[in-house]
Structure 1
Amino acid sequence: MILLIDAGNTRVKWALAAPGAQLGAWTASGAATHADMPQLELAWCEAASLHGIRRIVIANVAGNALRVQLEYVLQRCLPDVTPDWFASVPALAGVTNGYSNPAQLGCDRFAAAIAGHALAPDAPVIVVNCGTATTIDAVTADGVFLGGMILPGLGLMASSLARNTAQLPQIAQDGKLPDGFADNTDDAILSGILAAQSGAIEHACAAHHGAACIISGGAAPYIAPMLKVPYRIVENIVLIGLHAAAN
């Protein structure tokens, strides 16, 4: 079994993949916030006991402090398995990294690009991951990662308005939008941040002619219905990319 770990800025997501399993076909999976590391330790120790884990692949964008925590937990659960720390390289798993400095590309974005190319082979693709930040990236039909955009996620947009504008409230990003223009402040904020996110995605799709749009992340169910382009929602796209790379 391979333990795949996506250590993001807010949560740590993981999945267990059997040898030869299809992409995204997990034997087990889960997620926890950074503060819930004991929960992850219990889950991983149980997975190691039940299934046996021979390899660990980790994408970490949350910094060195979280890396140290993950190393400590994994050493307790799987002392004989040395983790592979996934990093952006010039080429891997059929994807060529077109960044001017390939190592500068966030490893989560590189993994998502690999997943997008694996899920939509022989087609141009826009890969969107809607987490703490929203990333929107373009991959050509022959697997060249062209680059993309990074913008604040829904939660960051909403909290920024609430924090920096005295008269505006903090709003829930999962509220229901009214038809037409908003007639109250909460709906106006929600409408604005959803339009900003969906508009950026549509702009990328228009620039990358004929591209399939794959959207993932915790905010994807709120943003996707706003899109005026065809799309496919895929859960845990970074884990799928790690799986494709590990294969």
Structure 2
Amino acid sequence: MSFLAIDIGNTRLKWALYDAPRPDARVIAHGAVHLETIDDLAETEWRHIPPPSTVLGCVVAGEAIRRRVEEQLELWDVTPRWVVSSASEGGVTNGYDHPGRLGTDRWVALIGARSRVLRSGRPRPAVVVMIGTAVTADALDADGRFLGGLILPGHGIMLRALESGTAGLRVPTGEVVGFPTNTSDALTSGGTYAITGAIERMHRHLAEHAGEPPLLLVTGGAGWKVTPYLELEHELIDSLIFEGLLHLGQQERFATPPQPLFAA
């Protein structure tokens, strides 16, 4: 039973077709498109892949984007499901003040991280970092409780904010160095160290809370740009969101294809 996982972020839609909804599933096909081009998915990237049996996704880009994606999914006779953040799911307890307001991408990534931690050995705390348009650093204790997390702007947002708020600041991206001596390097280094500093602070908070060093799991499209400058042992993972969707796809309420809204 093939399984299509969809992650609709703030900038891009990522998708992967698996041969089954389970963490060790084989990837049949995958891709990513910018949101400006999602109206062409049925005629381009999805046109020649096998029809999925079930579709499960998460979306942070808003209802209008979700509806446009659903229109493209009419290519197949399948009704998609969309994850909604809840008080508890997939072995994770949601500690947010208002659980439903936690971004679904963060929620699904936490579920994927918990599944990975349990498969790798004994339960351990973990800091779950996503680096993309925005950056999040979330704390997960050894019992699977989400304790809370940080949100900060990604590199692009930081640079655009500085350009719009600082007269004459129009410079190309520079290098990350210890002592920047030009504005380009100063901007790139400042953004990178802001992100790594936040990650390291959350890691320290969780280590003090848990009484042991947590795992540091990093994911997201821009993770590779930042991890070389992390001074902590870490694992860079292609997509914790897909891992979370695969874990959820095993559950009975997601595994059975939903019935059409109106019977024929």
Aligned to 1:3, what secondary structure does the other structure show?
Answer: strand
> Contact 2:7–2:242 at 8 Å: present in 1 too?
yes
Q: Determine the structure 2 residue equivalent to 1:63.
A: 62
Aligned residues of 2:3 and 2:21 also touching (Cα < 8 A): no
Instruction: After TM superposition, give the deviation of residue 177 of structure 1 in Å.
Output: 2.3
1:204 to 199, 202, 205: 202
CA distance in 1, matches of 2:14, 2:243: 11
In 1, the alpha carbon distance for the partners of 2:55 and 2:35 equals 19
Cα 1:222–1:3 change in 2 (3 A) is same
Letter in 1 for 2:135: T
Q: Do the aligned residues in 2 keep the contact of 1:23 with 1:244 (CA within 8 Å)? A: no
Are the aligned partners of 1:132 and 1:156 in contact in 2 as well (CA < 8 Å)? yes
The amino acid that maps onto 1:67 is R
Structure 1 counterpart of 2:187: 189
Sort the Cα spacing of 1:52 and 1:221 in 2 relative to 1 into closer, same or farther, 3 A: same
Contact 2:176 2:192 in 1 (8 A): no
State the distance in 2 between where 1:24 and 1:205 align: 31
Structure 1 residue 24: deviation in Å?
Answer: 7.0
Quote the offset at 1:25 in angstroms.
4.2
Q: Distance in 2 between matches of 1:202 and 1:165?
A: 29
Letter in 1 for 2:157: L
Instruction: Structure 1: state its 5+ residue gaps.
Output: none
Pair 238,154 (structure 1): closer, same or farther in 2 beyond 3 Å: same
Are the counterparts in 2 of residues 32 and 39 from structure 1 also a CA contact under 8 Å?
A: no
Counterpart residue identity of residue 45, structure 1? R
Unaligned runs of 5+ in 2: 208-212, 251-264
Amino acid aligned to 2:201: H
Residue 117 (structure 2) pairs with residue 120 (structure 1): yes
Structure 1's 147 and 25: CA in aligned 2 closer, same or farther, altered over 3 A? farther
CA deviation after TM superposition for structure 1 residue 236, in Å? 1.8
Please tell me whether the aligned partners of residues 108 and 245 of structure 2 are also in contact (alpha carbons under 8 angstroms): yes
Structure 1 residues 13, 155: closer, same or farther in 2, change over 3 A?
same
The within-5 A match list for 1:226-237 is 226-237=229-240
Q: Are positions 1:108 and 2:105 aligned together?
A: yes
In the alignment, the residues of structure 2 paired with residue 198 and residue 105 of structure 1 have an alpha-carbon distance, to the nearest angstrom, of: 22
Q: 2 CA distance for matches of 1:24 and 1:107? A: 22
CA positional deviation for 1:237: 1.7
Cα distance in 2 for partners of 1:170, 1:112 equals 34
Question: In the alignment, which of 216, 220, 235 is matched to residue 217 of structure 1?
Answer: 220
Q: Read off the aligned partner of 2:12 and give its amino acid letter.
A: R
